[in-house]
Structure 1
Amino acid sequence: MKKLDINIFQAKHKTIHPEKGRVLIAEPFLQGPYFARSIILLTEHGSEGSVGFVLNKATDVYPDEVIEGLFNFDGELYIGGPVSSNTLHFIHTLGTMVPGSIKVTPSIYWGGDFEKVKELINSGAADRRNVRFFAGYAGWSPGQLETEIADNSWIVSTLDDKVIMNSESTTIWKESLASLGDIYKTWSNFPANPTYN
């Protein structure tokens, strides 16, 4: 019998450093209600820490059920992370139409004038393809995210802006991990509960 010189539980990560606009893909062994099998868009990363939003943890609540004056928005409200879960945040592709927005990627912006976003949605100029709402956010103190990456909790990667804004929350983790190839494709097929085989 030939001995294989591989360990499917460890992968050699490409050296991609975290920065604004990149995504964190949870490794399949990361547990917990917020981060297990999660994909996080980093909207801020620097010497003061990091901020991001979990893209694939949808709730059973619709934003127009909890946001006063918002009508007929058919998108979901996502759990952005465990920090300040009673606060509302949003990303969008409306650019300078929303004053005060922070550019995160070539076409995705974070925050800005909330009343203007509501106005654009209510007038039909924006919808779930342009805006995503989050309750709470994911946050890391200075150096904390780098430590978690070194501990193999996260894979730093990139995603197309259209995938970030429009992907199905139930499949984005598996598809994003599998797209990295090699061992990651194997990881994408691991059962959520490792006792199942």
Structure 2
Amino acid sequence: MLSKLSPQAGRILISEPFMMDPNFKRSVVLLAEHTEEGTLGYVVNQVSDLEIGDVVEDFAAASHRVFIGGPVGQDTLHFVHRCYDLLQSGHDLGNGLYWGGNFETLTILLQNNAIAEEDIRFFLGYSGWGTGQLDDEIDQNTWIVGNVSHPDILFNEDMERLWKEVVIDMGPKYAHVSNFPTDPSLN
């Protein structure tokens, strides 16, 4: 599976169908930053058993789920949202998606239940690649680079199906991959 797109903020990485690394098996990673120094992103389809109130005491009133953003810095909290009109902050990732923002404003909004769960994703940790590492993995067909054709797909409630839906959304060239078994030895 050759990817023609290059990684950049706002694009997604889709793991190859037989990746066995438990951190990235059938994962979709939203890229937040891609520079010469490296790449940072968040796995958007690995939900934890935690709610945001379990992680941040000031957010006790909120019941938003927390996702595992990746294996790096799992003691850090990050967020991606599509409610710039409320937060008035965040790095623009395109398609109405924003990374981070003013934490004090976020606290007030969550305490007042003003942000719907379908408009924000919280992540413990992140996925990171050093200089050239992600490009090497793409060259080895570990990842497909895709565009976010519509941001609703990243806020899908069915985490199990998200990988499959994103692959199908890439078009007929990739759609058949969505039916590959998770373990090729069972084929």
Does TM, normalized by the shorter one, top 0.5? yes
What's the CA shift for 1:24?
A: 0.3
What's the CA shift for 1:67?
A: 1.1
**Secondary structure of the residue that 2:47 maps to in structure 1?**
coil
Kept in 1, the 8 Å contact 2:81–2:121? The answer is yes
Looking at secondary structure, tell me which structure has more helix per residue. Answer: 2
- Counterpart CA distance in 2 for 1:25 and 1:56 is 11
**Secondary structure of the residue that 1:91 maps to in structure 2?**
strand
> Using a 3 Å threshold, how does the CA distance of structure 1 residues 14 and 139 change in structure 2: closer, same or farther?
closer
Kept in 1, the 8 Å contact 2:47–2:66? The answer is yes
Amino acid at match of 1:20: A
Q: TM-score, normalised by structure 1?
A: 0.87
- Counterpart CA distance in 2 for 1:32 and 1:73 is 32
Residue in structure 1 matching 2:59, options 67, 70, 80:
70
Residue in structure 1 matching 2:163, options 167, 173, 178:
173
Aligned to 1:24: 13
5+ long unaligned stretches in structure 2: none
Q: Root-mean-square deviation (CA), in Å?
A: 1.7
After superposition, where does 1:2-21 map in structure 2 within 5 Å? 11=1, 13-21=2-10
Q: TM-score, normalised by structure 2?
A: 0.91
Residue in structure 2 matching 1:127, options 95, 108, 116:
116
Kept in 2, the 8 Å contact 1:73–1:127? The answer is no
- Counterpart CA distance in 1 for 2:155 and 2:46 is 14
What's the CA shift for 1:106?
A: 3.3
- Counterpart CA distance in 2 for 1:164 and 1:130 is 10
Kept in 2, the 8 Å contact 1:105–1:161? The answer is no
What's the CA shift for 1:156?
A: 0.4
- Counterpart CA distance in 1 for 2:53 and 2:28 is 24
Amino acid at match of 1:176: V
5+ long unaligned stretches in structure 1: 1-10
Identity %: 38
**Secondary structure of the residue that 1:140 maps to in structure 2?**
strand
Looking at secondary structure, tell me which structure has more strand per residue. Answer: 2
Kept in 2, the 8 Å contact 1:98–1:113? The answer is yes
Residue in structure 1 matching 2:143, options 148, 154, 158:
154
After superposition, where does 1:43-62 map in structure 2 within 5 Å? 43-62=32-51
Kept in 1, the 8 Å contact 2:33–2:40? The answer is yes
Amino acid at match of 1:75: H
The structure number with the bigger radius of gyration is 1
Greater mean alpha carbon deviation, residues 154-163 or residues 166-175? 166-175
**Secondary structure of the residue that 2:118 maps to in structure 1?**
coil
Is residue 33 of structure 1 aligned with residue 33 of structure 2? Answer: no
Q: Give per-residue Cα distances to partners, 1:137-179, cap 9 Å, x unaligned.
A: 0011111111100000000001211222334211110111123
